[in-house]
Structure 1
Amino acid sequence: MVGVIILFLLCIGILVYMIIEARQNNITRQTLLFKNFPKSFGEITIFFISDIHKRSISEKLIEEVKGSADLVIIGGDLCEKGVPLTKIESNIKLLKSIAPVYFVWGNNDYEINYHELDSLLLSQGVTILDNTAARFESESGDSIAILGIDDIRVGRHRLDLALKDVGEEVPFKILISHNPVIVDEIKPENGIDFIMSGHTHGGQIRIFNIGLYKKGCIEKIGSTTLLTSNGYGTTELPLRLGAPPETHLITIKSL
Protein backbone atom coordinates (compact mmCIF):
# COMPACT_ATOMS: atom_id res chain seq x y z
CA MET A 1 0.00 0.00 0.00
CA VAL A 2 2.82 2.41 0.90
CA GLY A 3 4.50 1.61 -2.39
CA VAL A 4 1.33 2.44 -4.30
CA ILE A 5 1.01 5.78 -2.51
CA ILE A 6 4.65 6.65 -3.24
CA LEU A 7 4.20 5.74 -6.90
CA PHE A 8 1.02 7.85 -7.08
CA LEU A 9 2.76 10.86 -5.52
CA LEU A 10 5.71 10.40 -7.88
CA CYS A 11 3.39 10.41 -10.90
CA ILE A 12 1.65 13.55 -9.63
CA GLY A 13 5.03 15.20 -9.11
CA ILE A 14 6.16 14.38 -12.65
CA LEU A 15 2.87 15.69 -14.07
CA VAL A 16 3.21 18.97 -12.19
CA TYR A 17 6.82 19.27 -13.37
CA MET A 18 5.72 18.72 -17.00
CA ILE A 19 3.08 21.44 -16.68
CA ILE A 20 5.60 23.87 -15.22
CA GLU A 21 8.21 23.06 -17.88
CA ALA A 22 5.67 23.68 -20.66
CA ARG A 23 5.06 27.20 -19.34
CA GLN A 24 8.69 28.30 -19.29
CA ASN A 25 9.75 31.42 -21.21
CA ASN A 26 13.27 30.61 -22.37
CA ILE A 27 15.37 32.70 -24.72
CA THR A 28 18.26 30.94 -26.43
CA ARG A 29 20.91 33.48 -27.42
CA GLN A 30 23.34 32.48 -30.15
CA THR A 31 25.82 34.22 -32.44
CA LEU A 32 26.48 32.65 -35.84
CA LEU A 33 29.32 33.55 -38.18
CA PHE A 34 29.04 33.17 -41.96
CA LYS A 35 31.70 33.93 -44.53
CA ASN A 36 29.04 35.02 -47.07
CA PHE A 37 27.42 37.56 -44.77
CA PRO A 38 28.26 41.08 -46.07
CA LYS A 39 30.51 42.97 -43.67
CA SER A 40 28.71 46.23 -44.51
CA PHE A 41 25.69 45.04 -42.48
CA GLY A 42 27.77 44.73 -39.36
CA GLU A 43 25.39 42.30 -37.74
CA ILE A 44 21.67 41.55 -37.62
CA THR A 45 19.74 40.04 -34.75
CA ILE A 46 16.57 38.04 -35.32
CA PHE A 47 14.02 37.09 -32.70
CA PHE A 48 12.65 33.74 -33.83
CA ILE A 49 9.55 32.17 -32.33
CA SER A 50 7.68 29.16 -33.68
CA ASP A 51 4.85 26.85 -32.65
CA ILE A 52 2.98 29.25 -30.39
CA HIS A 53 -0.22 27.19 -30.78
CA LYS A 54 -2.55 27.95 -27.82
CA ARG A 55 -0.08 29.90 -25.67
CA SER A 56 -0.34 33.55 -24.78
CA ILE A 57 3.08 35.12 -25.18
CA SER A 58 4.51 36.38 -21.90
CA GLU A 59 4.79 40.15 -21.64
CA LYS A 60 7.85 39.63 -19.45
CA LEU A 61 9.48 37.72 -22.33
CA ILE A 62 8.69 40.56 -24.72
CA GLU A 63 10.19 43.16 -22.38
CA GLU A 64 13.36 41.08 -22.13
CA VAL A 65 13.73 41.01 -25.92
CA LYS A 66 12.84 44.63 -26.70
CA GLY A 67 15.76 46.62 -28.01
CA SER A 68 17.72 43.49 -28.90
CA ALA A 69 16.24 42.43 -32.26
CA ASP A 70 16.12 43.96 -35.73
CA LEU A 71 13.47 41.54 -37.00
CA VAL A 72 10.88 39.16 -35.59
CA ILE A 73 10.16 35.95 -37.46
CA ILE A 74 7.22 33.67 -36.65
CA GLY A 75 8.16 30.21 -37.89
CA GLY A 76 4.64 28.84 -38.34
CA ASP A 77 1.94 27.33 -36.13
CA LEU A 78 1.01 30.71 -34.75
CA CYS A 79 -2.26 29.04 -33.82
CA GLU A 80 -4.34 25.88 -34.18
CA LYS A 81 -7.98 24.80 -34.12
CA GLY A 82 -9.92 26.49 -31.35
CA VAL A 83 -7.62 29.49 -30.86
CA PRO A 84 -9.68 32.71 -31.11
CA LEU A 85 -8.54 35.49 -33.38
CA THR A 86 -8.49 37.85 -30.39
CA LYS A 87 -5.71 35.81 -28.76
CA ILE A 88 -3.77 35.65 -32.03
CA GLU A 89 -4.10 39.41 -32.42
CA SER A 90 -2.82 40.00 -28.89
CA ASN A 91 0.22 37.83 -29.53
CA ILE A 92 0.96 39.62 -32.80
CA LYS A 93 0.73 43.04 -31.15
CA LEU A 94 3.23 41.97 -28.51
CA LEU A 95 5.66 40.73 -31.17
CA LYS A 96 5.21 43.93 -33.18
CA SER A 97 6.38 45.93 -30.17
CA ILE A 98 9.83 44.34 -30.63
CA ALA A 99 10.50 44.90 -34.35
CA PRO A 100 8.92 44.36 -37.81
CA VAL A 101 7.31 40.92 -37.99
CA TYR A 102 7.62 38.28 -40.73
CA PHE A 103 5.54 35.09 -40.85
CA VAL A 104 5.51 31.71 -42.59
CA TRP A 105 2.61 29.27 -42.53
CA GLY A 106 2.68 26.06 -40.49
CA ASN A 107 0.40 23.06 -40.86
CA ASN A 108 -1.71 23.92 -37.79
CA ASP A 109 -2.35 27.45 -39.03
CA TYR A 110 -4.66 25.91 -41.62
CA GLU A 111 -6.89 24.41 -38.91
CA ILE A 112 -8.68 27.73 -38.49
CA ASN A 113 -10.15 29.90 -41.23
CA TYR A 114 -6.85 30.77 -42.89
CA HIS A 115 -8.43 33.57 -44.91
CA GLU A 116 -9.31 35.29 -41.64
CA LEU A 117 -5.81 34.67 -40.30
CA ASP A 118 -4.29 36.06 -43.49
CA SER A 119 -6.46 39.17 -43.22
CA LEU A 120 -5.54 39.66 -39.55
CA LEU A 121 -1.83 39.38 -40.27
CA LEU A 122 -2.02 41.89 -43.10
CA SER A 123 -4.09 44.31 -41.02
CA GLN A 124 -1.38 44.20 -38.35
CA GLY A 125 1.35 44.97 -40.87
CA VAL A 126 2.92 41.50 -40.72
CA THR A 127 4.85 40.48 -43.84
CA ILE A 128 3.73 37.01 -44.97
CA LEU A 129 6.46 35.05 -46.71
CA ASP A 130 4.44 32.47 -48.63
CA ASN A 131 6.89 31.21 -51.25
CA THR A 132 8.25 34.74 -51.47
CA ALA A 133 11.30 36.67 -50.30
CA ALA A 134 12.21 39.95 -48.66
CA ARG A 135 15.45 41.73 -49.58
CA PHE A 136 17.46 44.07 -47.39
CA GLU A 137 20.24 46.42 -48.46
CA SER A 138 23.05 47.98 -46.46
CA GLU A 139 24.03 51.61 -46.93
CA SER A 140 26.82 50.49 -49.25
CA GLY A 141 24.38 48.56 -51.45
CA ASP A 142 25.10 44.98 -50.33
CA SER A 143 22.06 42.68 -50.15
CA ILE A 144 20.77 39.83 -48.04
CA ALA A 145 17.47 38.00 -48.46
CA ILE A 146 15.02 36.23 -46.20
CA LEU A 147 12.98 33.63 -48.05
CA GLY A 148 9.86 31.99 -46.65
CA ILE A 149 8.02 28.95 -47.92
CA ASP A 150 4.49 27.76 -47.23
CA ASP A 151 4.06 24.56 -45.26
CA ILE A 152 5.45 21.33 -46.66
CA ARG A 153 3.04 19.07 -44.81
CA VAL A 154 0.01 20.60 -46.52
CA GLY A 155 1.78 20.53 -49.89
CA ARG A 156 1.95 24.28 -50.43
CA HIS A 157 5.70 24.87 -50.39
CA ARG A 158 7.43 26.20 -53.52
CA LEU A 159 11.08 26.81 -52.84
CA ASP A 160 11.62 27.53 -56.52
CA LEU A 161 9.22 30.49 -56.40
CA ALA A 162 10.86 31.90 -53.27
CA LEU A 163 14.28 31.67 -54.91
CA LYS A 164 12.94 33.33 -58.04
CA ASP A 165 11.47 36.14 -55.95
CA VAL A 166 14.92 36.99 -54.60
CA GLY A 167 15.69 38.34 -58.05
CA GLU A 168 19.28 39.14 -58.85
CA GLU A 169 22.12 37.43 -57.06
CA VAL A 170 22.48 38.12 -53.34
CA PRO A 171 25.45 36.81 -51.32
CA PHE A 172 23.52 35.70 -48.24
CA LYS A 173 20.15 33.95 -47.97
CA ILE A 174 18.12 32.88 -44.94
CA LEU A 175 15.25 30.43 -45.50
CA ILE A 176 12.29 30.23 -43.12
CA SER A 177 10.43 26.92 -43.25
CA HIS A 178 8.07 25.67 -40.56
CA ASN A 179 9.14 22.10 -41.22
CA PRO A 180 12.88 21.32 -41.09
CA VAL A 181 12.60 18.50 -43.65
CA ILE A 182 13.03 21.18 -46.31
CA VAL A 183 16.76 20.71 -45.74
CA ASP A 184 16.53 17.55 -47.85
CA GLU A 185 15.56 19.67 -50.87
CA ILE A 186 18.33 22.24 -50.54
CA LYS A 187 21.02 22.14 -53.21
CA PRO A 188 24.38 23.95 -53.02
CA GLU A 189 23.45 26.04 -56.05
CA ASN A 190 20.42 27.45 -54.15
CA GLY A 191 22.84 29.44 -52.01
CA ILE A 192 20.83 28.98 -48.79
CA ASP A 193 23.19 29.77 -45.94
CA PHE A 194 20.84 29.40 -42.97
CA ILE A 195 17.47 27.71 -42.37
CA MET A 196 15.19 28.52 -39.43
CA SER A 197 12.46 26.01 -38.58
CA GLY A 198 10.33 24.50 -35.82
CA HIS A 199 7.44 22.02 -36.05
CA THR A 200 8.98 19.14 -34.10
CA HIS A 201 8.73 20.64 -30.58
CA GLY A 202 11.96 18.78 -29.88
CA GLY A 203 9.81 15.71 -29.34
CA GLN A 204 7.88 17.67 -26.63
CA ILE A 205 7.95 14.72 -24.21
CA ARG A 206 11.25 12.87 -24.02
CA ILE A 207 11.74 9.78 -21.88
CA PHE A 208 15.40 9.11 -21.00
CA ASN A 209 16.17 11.73 -23.68
CA ILE A 210 14.30 9.71 -26.31
CA GLY A 211 11.48 11.40 -28.21
CA LEU A 212 9.54 11.22 -31.43
CA TYR A 213 11.84 13.90 -32.86
CA LYS A 214 15.36 15.14 -32.28
CA LYS A 215 15.74 17.80 -29.63
CA GLY A 216 16.04 21.32 -31.00
CA CYS A 217 19.52 22.35 -32.11
CA ILE A 218 21.66 24.12 -34.68
CA GLU A 219 23.58 21.83 -37.01
CA LYS A 220 25.52 21.95 -40.25
CA ILE A 221 23.82 19.84 -42.92
CA GLY A 222 25.32 19.72 -46.38
CA SER A 223 25.80 23.23 -47.72
CA THR A 224 23.59 24.95 -45.13
CA THR A 225 23.14 25.52 -41.40
CA LEU A 226 19.83 24.39 -39.89
CA LEU A 227 18.12 25.68 -36.75
CA THR A 228 15.32 23.45 -35.48
CA SER A 229 13.56 25.01 -32.50
CA ASN A 230 11.77 23.23 -29.67
CA GLY A 231 9.11 25.89 -30.20
CA TYR A 232 7.20 27.99 -27.69
CA GLY A 233 3.90 26.18 -27.25
CA THR A 234 2.62 22.63 -27.14
CA THR A 235 0.24 20.52 -29.18
CA GLU A 236 -2.28 17.91 -28.04
CA LEU A 237 -1.19 17.94 -24.38
CA PRO A 238 -0.01 21.10 -22.54
CA LEU A 239 2.98 19.18 -21.22
CA ARG A 240 6.72 19.03 -21.84
CA LEU A 241 9.49 16.84 -20.53
CA GLY A 242 13.13 17.08 -21.53
CA ALA A 243 12.38 19.48 -24.40
CA PRO A 244 11.70 22.85 -22.76
CA PRO A 245 10.08 25.61 -24.79
CA GLU A 246 12.41 28.09 -26.41
CA THR A 247 12.53 31.28 -28.39
CA HIS A 248 15.70 32.53 -30.06
CA LEU A 249 17.78 35.65 -30.36
CA ILE A 250 20.08 34.88 -33.27
CA THR A 251 22.84 37.35 -34.08
CA ILE A 252 24.43 36.91 -37.50
CA LYS A 253 27.85 38.33 -38.34
CA SER A 254 30.52 37.99 -40.96
CA LEU A 255 33.21 35.38 -40.35
Structure 2
Amino acid sequence: MVTGLLLMAGFVLLLAAVVIGAVMVAEAFGKQIIAEEIVLYSLPEALDGFRILFISDIHRRTLPAAMLSSLGHVDAVFLGGDLTERNSPLERLRMNMKLVTSIAPTYAVHGNHDYRADIGKVDDIIHSSGAVLLRDRNTVIEHGGGQLWLTGVDFPATGGKKGYAPLPPLPPGSEGSCRIILVHDPLWLSERGPQPANLILAGHTHGGQVVLPFIGHGHVDNFYRTYNAGWYEWPQVGAAGARAQLLISRGFGTAHLPLRWGSPAEMHVLTLRCPQD
Protein backbone atom coordinates (compact mmCIF):
# COMPACT_ATOMS: atom_id res chain seq x y z
CA MET A 1 0.00 0.00 0.00
CA VAL A 2 2.74 2.43 1.03
CA THR A 3 4.82 1.50 -2.01
CA GLY A 4 1.84 2.12 -4.28
CA LEU A 5 1.25 5.56 -2.78
CA LEU A 6 4.91 6.46 -3.18
CA LEU A 7 4.87 5.36 -6.81
CA MET A 8 1.71 7.39 -7.42
CA ALA A 9 3.23 10.46 -5.76
CA GLY A 10 6.38 10.05 -7.83
CA PHE A 11 4.34 9.79 -11.00
CA VAL A 12 2.36 12.93 -10.14
CA LEU A 13 5.57 14.86 -9.43
CA LEU A 14 7.13 13.65 -12.68
CA LEU A 15 4.02 14.61 -14.63
CA ALA A 16 3.97 18.05 -13.00
CA ALA A 17 7.65 18.55 -13.87
CA VAL A 18 6.98 17.60 -17.50
CA VAL A 19 4.02 19.97 -17.72
CA ILE A 20 5.93 22.85 -16.11
CA GLY A 21 8.90 22.20 -18.37
CA ALA A 22 6.66 22.25 -21.44
CA VAL A 23 5.10 25.56 -20.36
CA MET A 24 8.53 27.07 -19.74
CA VAL A 25 9.77 26.06 -23.18
CA ALA A 26 6.55 27.32 -24.80
CA GLU A 27 6.96 30.72 -23.12
CA ALA A 28 10.61 30.85 -24.17
CA PHE A 29 9.73 30.26 -27.82
CA GLY A 30 6.58 32.38 -27.87
CA LYS A 31 6.00 34.98 -30.57
CA GLN A 32 4.04 37.69 -28.78
CA ILE A 33 3.89 41.14 -30.36
CA ILE A 34 2.63 43.93 -28.10
CA ALA A 35 1.16 46.85 -30.03
CA GLU A 36 0.72 50.16 -28.21
CA GLU A 37 0.25 53.86 -28.90
CA ILE A 38 2.65 56.23 -27.12
CA VAL A 39 1.93 59.94 -26.65
CA LEU A 40 5.08 62.10 -26.87
CA TYR A 41 4.47 65.74 -26.06
CA SER A 42 7.23 67.17 -28.26
CA LEU A 43 6.51 64.91 -31.23
CA PRO A 44 6.16 66.89 -34.48
CA GLU A 45 2.74 66.53 -36.11
CA ALA A 46 4.41 65.07 -39.20
CA LEU A 47 5.44 62.04 -37.11
CA ASP A 48 2.01 61.38 -35.63
CA GLY A 49 1.39 57.70 -36.41
CA PHE A 50 5.11 56.85 -36.85
CA ARG A 51 5.44 53.10 -36.17
CA ILE A 52 8.49 51.50 -34.55
CA LEU A 53 9.20 47.79 -34.33
CA PHE A 54 11.27 47.38 -31.16
CA ILE A 55 13.06 44.08 -30.56
CA SER A 56 15.56 43.39 -27.80
CA ASP A 57 17.57 40.37 -26.67
CA ILE A 58 17.22 38.08 -29.67
CA HIS A 59 20.18 35.92 -28.54
CA ARG A 60 20.03 32.56 -30.38
CA ARG A 61 16.52 32.83 -31.80
CA THR A 62 15.48 33.12 -35.42
CA LEU A 63 13.07 35.97 -35.97
CA PRO A 64 9.64 34.92 -37.33
CA ALA A 65 9.69 36.11 -40.94
CA ALA A 66 6.00 35.46 -41.66
CA MET A 67 4.83 37.28 -38.55
CA LEU A 68 7.05 40.31 -39.04
CA SER A 69 6.25 40.57 -42.74
CA SER A 70 2.54 40.71 -41.92
CA LEU A 71 2.78 43.67 -39.53
CA GLY A 72 1.79 46.22 -42.13
CA HIS A 73 3.71 49.42 -42.61
CA VAL A 74 6.56 50.01 -40.17
CA ASP A 75 8.65 53.20 -40.32
CA ALA A 76 11.70 52.05 -38.34
CA VAL A 77 13.13 49.04 -36.54
CA PHE A 78 15.01 49.55 -33.27
CA LEU A 79 17.17 46.68 -31.98
CA GLY A 80 18.00 46.91 -28.27
CA GLY A 81 21.13 44.80 -28.08
CA ASP A 82 22.03 41.14 -27.52
CA LEU A 83 21.41 40.50 -31.20
CA THR A 84 23.40 37.28 -30.79
CA GLU A 85 25.57 35.52 -28.22
CA ARG A 86 28.71 33.42 -27.93
CA ASN A 87 28.59 30.23 -30.06
CA SER A 88 25.36 31.24 -31.78
CA PRO A 89 25.69 30.74 -35.56
CA LEU A 90 26.61 34.01 -37.24
CA GLU A 91 24.54 32.97 -40.24
CA ARG A 92 21.47 33.21 -38.01
CA LEU A 93 22.39 36.79 -37.13
CA ARG A 94 22.88 37.50 -40.84
CA MET A 95 19.39 36.13 -41.63
CA ASN A 96 17.80 38.12 -38.80
CA MET A 97 19.46 41.34 -39.91
CA LYS A 98 18.45 40.76 -43.53
CA LEU A 99 14.86 40.31 -42.39
CA VAL A 100 14.56 43.42 -40.21
CA THR A 101 16.32 45.69 -42.69
CA SER A 102 13.87 44.52 -45.36
CA ILE A 103 11.01 45.79 -43.19
CA ALA A 104 12.22 49.33 -42.49
CA PRO A 105 15.36 51.39 -41.77
CA THR A 106 17.02 49.67 -38.83
CA TYR A 107 18.98 51.09 -35.88
CA ALA A 108 20.81 48.98 -33.32
CA VAL A 109 22.91 49.14 -30.16
CA HIS A 110 25.22 46.56 -28.63
CA GLY A 111 24.31 44.42 -25.64
CA ASN A 112 26.65 42.61 -23.28
CA HIS A 113 26.26 39.28 -25.11
CA ASP A 114 27.22 40.85 -28.42
CA TYR A 115 30.63 41.63 -26.94
CA ARG A 116 30.97 38.03 -25.76
CA ALA A 117 30.57 36.85 -29.35
CA ASP A 118 33.05 37.65 -32.12
CA ILE A 119 32.26 41.37 -32.03
CA GLY A 120 34.25 42.17 -35.17
CA LYS A 121 32.24 39.70 -37.25
CA VAL A 122 29.02 40.73 -35.51
CA ASP A 123 29.58 44.37 -36.45
CA ASP A 124 30.50 43.43 -40.01
CA ILE A 125 27.15 41.67 -40.36
CA ILE A 126 25.26 44.60 -38.85
CA HIS A 127 26.95 47.12 -41.14
CA SER A 128 26.66 44.98 -44.28
CA SER A 129 22.92 44.56 -43.66
CA GLY A 130 22.46 48.31 -44.00
CA ALA A 131 21.50 48.82 -40.37
CA VAL A 132 22.84 51.82 -38.45
CA LEU A 133 24.88 50.82 -35.40
CA LEU A 134 24.70 53.58 -32.81
CA ARG A 135 27.74 53.54 -30.55
CA ASP A 136 27.19 56.50 -28.26
CA ARG A 137 25.98 58.75 -31.02
CA ASN A 138 22.90 60.50 -32.32
CA THR A 139 21.10 60.17 -35.61
CA VAL A 140 18.19 62.19 -36.92
CA ILE A 141 15.13 60.41 -38.31
CA GLU A 142 13.19 62.49 -40.82
CA HIS A 143 9.65 61.69 -41.78
CA GLY A 144 7.05 63.72 -43.64
CA GLY A 145 8.93 66.95 -43.09
CA GLY A 146 9.32 66.41 -39.34
CA GLN A 147 12.19 64.92 -37.40
CA LEU A 148 13.08 63.19 -34.18
CA TRP A 149 16.45 62.33 -32.69
CA LEU A 150 17.54 58.82 -31.79
CA THR A 151 20.49 58.34 -29.43
CA GLY A 152 22.11 54.94 -29.12
CA VAL A 153 23.96 54.14 -25.87
CA ASP A 154 26.66 51.53 -26.37
CA PHE A 155 27.08 48.82 -23.73
CA PRO A 156 30.57 49.22 -22.22
CA ALA A 157 33.06 46.95 -23.97
CA THR A 158 35.27 47.32 -20.89
CA GLY A 159 34.80 48.73 -17.42
CA GLY A 160 31.82 46.65 -16.38
CA LYS A 161 28.17 47.63 -16.28
CA LYS A 162 28.90 51.18 -15.17
CA GLY A 163 31.69 52.10 -17.57
CA TYR A 164 29.48 54.04 -19.96
CA ALA A 165 30.57 56.98 -22.08
CA PRO A 166 28.79 60.30 -21.53
CA LEU A 167 25.49 60.74 -23.33
CA PRO A 168 26.25 62.56 -26.60
CA PRO A 169 24.63 66.01 -26.74
CA LEU A 170 22.36 66.99 -29.58
CA PRO A 171 23.69 69.53 -32.09
CA PRO A 172 23.22 73.22 -31.22
CA GLY A 173 19.74 74.38 -32.07
CA SER A 174 18.19 70.94 -31.49
CA GLU A 175 17.48 71.45 -27.81
CA GLY A 176 13.88 70.62 -26.99
CA SER A 177 13.51 68.32 -29.99
CA CYS A 178 11.73 65.00 -29.63
CA ARG A 179 14.36 62.47 -28.60
CA ILE A 180 14.41 58.71 -28.04
CA ILE A 181 17.24 56.96 -26.21
CA LEU A 182 17.95 53.33 -27.12
CA VAL A 183 20.02 51.49 -24.48
CA HIS A 184 20.46 47.79 -23.82
CA ASP A 185 20.59 47.71 -20.02
CA PRO A 186 18.26 50.02 -18.06
CA LEU A 187 20.80 49.90 -15.21
CA TRP A 188 22.48 52.67 -17.22
CA LEU A 189 19.91 54.96 -15.62
CA SER A 190 20.71 53.96 -12.04
CA GLU A 191 23.46 56.56 -11.53
CA ARG A 192 21.90 59.24 -13.69
CA GLY A 193 19.37 61.91 -12.94
CA PRO A 194 16.85 63.43 -15.33
CA GLN A 195 17.42 62.55 -18.97
CA PRO A 196 17.05 64.82 -22.02
CA ALA A 197 14.65 62.45 -23.75
CA ASN A 198 10.96 61.82 -24.22
CA LEU A 199 11.18 58.04 -24.55
CA ILE A 200 13.77 55.52 -23.35
CA LEU A 201 13.78 51.98 -24.73
CA ALA A 202 15.72 49.18 -23.00
CA GLY A 203 15.85 45.41 -22.57
CA HIS A 204 18.41 43.12 -20.90
CA THR A 205 16.30 42.06 -17.90
CA HIS A 206 14.18 39.42 -19.69
CA GLY A 207 11.58 40.38 -17.09
CA GLY A 208 13.44 38.04 -14.76
CA GLN A 209 12.95 35.24 -17.32
CA VAL A 210 11.86 32.77 -14.62
CA VAL A 211 9.53 34.47 -12.15
CA LEU A 212 8.59 32.05 -9.39
CA PRO A 213 5.38 32.33 -7.32
CA PHE A 214 5.94 34.02 -3.93
CA ILE A 215 9.62 34.48 -4.77
CA GLY A 216 9.48 36.69 -7.84
CA HIS A 217 12.35 37.27 -10.22
CA GLY A 218 15.93 36.52 -9.28
CA HIS A 219 17.59 39.86 -10.08
CA VAL A 220 20.38 40.71 -7.66
CA ASP A 221 20.68 44.45 -8.21
CA ASN A 222 18.00 46.40 -6.35
CA PHE A 223 17.47 48.66 -9.37
CA TYR A 224 15.95 45.74 -11.29
CA ARG A 225 13.54 45.00 -8.48
CA THR A 226 11.84 48.29 -9.27
CA TYR A 227 12.63 48.59 -12.97
CA ASN A 228 12.05 45.06 -14.20
CA ALA A 229 9.80 44.97 -17.28
CA GLY A 230 7.03 47.09 -18.74
CA TRP A 231 6.33 50.82 -18.63
CA TYR A 232 7.77 53.30 -16.13
CA GLU A 233 8.49 57.00 -15.89
CA TRP A 234 11.87 58.66 -15.45
CA PRO A 235 12.62 62.31 -14.64
CA GLN A 236 13.07 64.35 -17.78
CA VAL A 237 15.28 67.37 -18.35
CA GLY A 238 13.10 70.41 -18.94
CA ALA A 239 10.02 71.72 -17.22
CA ALA A 240 9.59 70.93 -13.53
CA GLY A 241 7.86 67.58 -13.07
CA ALA A 242 8.40 66.50 -16.67
CA ARG A 243 8.70 62.74 -17.07
CA ALA A 244 10.19 60.60 -19.80
CA GLN A 245 8.49 57.31 -20.63
CA LEU A 246 10.61 54.21 -20.11
CA LEU A 247 9.88 50.82 -21.68
CA ILE A 248 11.86 47.78 -20.53
CA SER A 249 11.18 44.83 -22.83
CA ARG A 250 11.19 41.22 -21.67
CA GLY A 251 13.00 40.50 -24.91
CA PHE A 252 12.51 37.91 -27.60
CA GLY A 253 15.21 35.41 -26.70
CA THR A 254 16.53 33.91 -23.50
CA ALA A 255 19.84 34.05 -21.65
CA HIS A 256 21.48 30.73 -20.78
CA LEU A 257 18.68 28.13 -20.88
CA PRO A 258 15.71 28.41 -23.30
CA LEU A 259 13.19 28.54 -20.46
CA ARG A 260 10.72 31.16 -19.24
CA TRP A 261 8.10 31.23 -16.52
CA GLY A 262 5.82 34.18 -15.84
CA SER A 263 7.76 36.34 -18.27
CA PRO A 264 6.87 35.41 -21.87
CA ALA A 265 8.97 36.39 -24.87
CA GLU A 266 7.85 39.60 -26.54
CA MET A 267 8.57 42.28 -29.11
CA HIS A 268 6.80 45.59 -29.59
CA VAL A 269 5.14 47.75 -32.20
CA LEU A 270 5.00 51.32 -30.89
CA THR A 271 2.88 53.93 -32.65
CA LEU A 272 3.95 57.45 -31.73
CA ARG A 273 1.17 59.98 -31.19
CA CYS A 274 0.96 63.71 -30.65
CA PRO A 275 -1.12 64.82 -27.64
CA GLN A 276 -4.75 65.58 -28.35
CA ASP A 277 -5.87 69.17 -27.76
**TM-score (norm: length of structure 1):** 0.91
Q: How does 1:149-160 map to 2 (within 5 A)?
A: 149-152=153-156, 153=160, 157-160=164-167
- Measured in 2, the distance between the counterparts of 1:143 and 1:232 equals 29
In structure 2, the partner of 1:15 is 21
CA contact (8 A) 2:86 2:118 kept: no
What is the CA deviation profile of residues 61-109 of structure 1, one whole-angstrom value per residue up to 9, with x for unaligned ones?
22232x3310001100001100121111011111112111111000000
Determine whether 1:6 maps to 2:5: no
Cα displacement (A) at 1:60: 2.5
Equivalent position SS for 1:135: strand
Alignment of 1:121-160 (within 5 A): 121-140=126-145, 142-152=146-156, 153=160, 157-160=164-167
Q: Distance in 1 between matches of 2:125 and 2:205?
A: 26
CA distance in 2: counterparts of 1:6 and 1:139, whole angstroms: 61
Residue in 2 aligned with 1:88?
A: 93
Corresponding residue for 2:32? 26
Contact 1:131–1:150 under 8 Å retained in 2: yes
CA contact (8 A) 2:230 2:249 kept: yes
Pairing of 1:161-172 with structure 2 (within 5 A): 162-164=168-170, 166-170=171-175, 171-172=177-178
Aligned to 2:273: 253
Matched, 1:217 2:230: yes
- One-letter amino acid matched to 2:149: A
Give the deviation of 1:35 after TM superposition: 1.3
Match 1:233 to one of 226, 233, 253: 253
Q: 1:167 to 1:186 in 2, by over 3 A?
A: farther
Matching residue of 1:107? 112
Q: Which is greater in Rg?
A: 2
Aligned equivalents of 1:192, 1:145: Cα separation in 2: 9
Change (3 A) 1:39 1:185: farther
SS class of match (1:97) = helix
Query: What is the root-mean-square deviation of aligned Cα atoms in Å?
Result: 1.8
Q: Superposition pairs for residues 185-200 of structure 1, below 5 Å? A: 185-188=191-194, 190-200=195-205
Counterpart contact for 2:56–2:80, Cα < 8 Å: yes
> Are the counterparts in 2 of residues 71 and 100 from structure 1 also a CA contact under 8 Å?
yes
SS at structure 2 position matched to 1:163:
coil
Matched to 1:157, the amino acid is Y
- How many equivalent pairs are there? 250
| Identity percentage of aligned residues | 30
Report if the CA contact (8 A) 1:200-1:230 is conserved.
yes
Provide, for residues 156-206 of structure 1, a one-character-per-residue CA deviation record: whole Å limited to 9, x for no partner: 63243x324x55314211000000122335544x42111000000000001
Matches within 5 A, 1:197-212: 197-208=202-213, 210-212=216-218
Cα distance between partner residues in 2 of 1:254 and 1:159? 29
Query: Which ranges in structure 2 are unaligned for 5 or more consecutive residues?
Result: 1-6, 220-224, 237-243
Letter of the 1:148 partner, please give it: G
**1:218 deviation in Å?**
1.0
Read off the aligned partner of 2:183 and give its amino acid letter: S
Q: Pick from 53, 68, 83: which aligns with 1:62?
A: 68
Structure 1 ranges of 4+ moved more than 6 A: none
- Judging changes above 3 Å, is the alpha-carbon distance between structure 1 residues 139 and 229 closer, same or farther for their aligned structure 2 residues? closer
Q: Residues 221 and 137 from structure 1, CA distance in 2 versus in 1: closer, same or farther, beyond 3 angstroms?
A: same
